[in-house]
Structure 1
């Protein structure tokens, strides 16, 4: 039994640490066997902690073949499972996944939304302009108590800035953000002043 086969066999261990170590290690094996074992694992496992680790490993060793399975996890009730799936989709995917990321942006969970924003910043096309604009307007419409890192607002604005010279909706959104800049955190306000206001 080689090392990879041994790791795959450990996915069925009842010991969490053994199982988790095997899941992490398989992420370093860029083979069809490792990917298939991890896919089977995220499909059958009931443990959200294990699934999160497997999602991250698939982001390291996976191919286009695991994308449909990661997409299904965007409906998972656990926030960390959803977010880790979006994160790995952001690594493995491209602009064809823009509709998937836009759909995740509609989730009621703010953390899931934030991960979707980052994925759209990386891969989104023009179809994401209106959804991201709507997200930004809602984000700046009121003051928030919890500051995320990275800021989903800055991530969203970085996406829109690519279209500022060709899209009127982007310009309107930027104008609205400037009016509401007192509702955002200091680092967000600083970014707005340096990248949006100076450009107007």
Structure 2
């Protein structure tokens, strides 16, 4: 039996509630129907007081260090961010500045973003993919981007975005199943204990 994937969802929004959270919630709900996930959230808004001026992981307070540890030990990351002035928030970039260089080697990462208009959508390919390429992570085939017209009243409201999410899940599932199989095969096996039955 395949093990569940330790999945960390990083919400790069600096506000609560947020369209980014709605998009990430929808993604994880549909992914969880296709792949067994054990989910933990890292909310950037909760870390604002802790990481802004810190240069080293060892100097972080406990809450922020636990967030970094969760990212580093994940089997699978989902990272979502709002876009401001054509770029991701500097504090989100700084969060990943504190991640160990080799911690994400080969790990699958699903990218998502929200912005005020469609013209910001290239942030996924022009900024997020290079960031995780630096970490030698495995970014999944397509990312997901939503605008205010796509996400309204706390839910995904456009058919186009729903179809994009469905396609993302369809393309991600085989990769994630492969990761599950590899991790299951690498896990230490419990020794088989033979039981002797004695006649009464």
TM-score, structure 1 length as denominator? 0.26
Higher relative contact order (CA 8 A, sep 6+): 2
More helix by share: 1
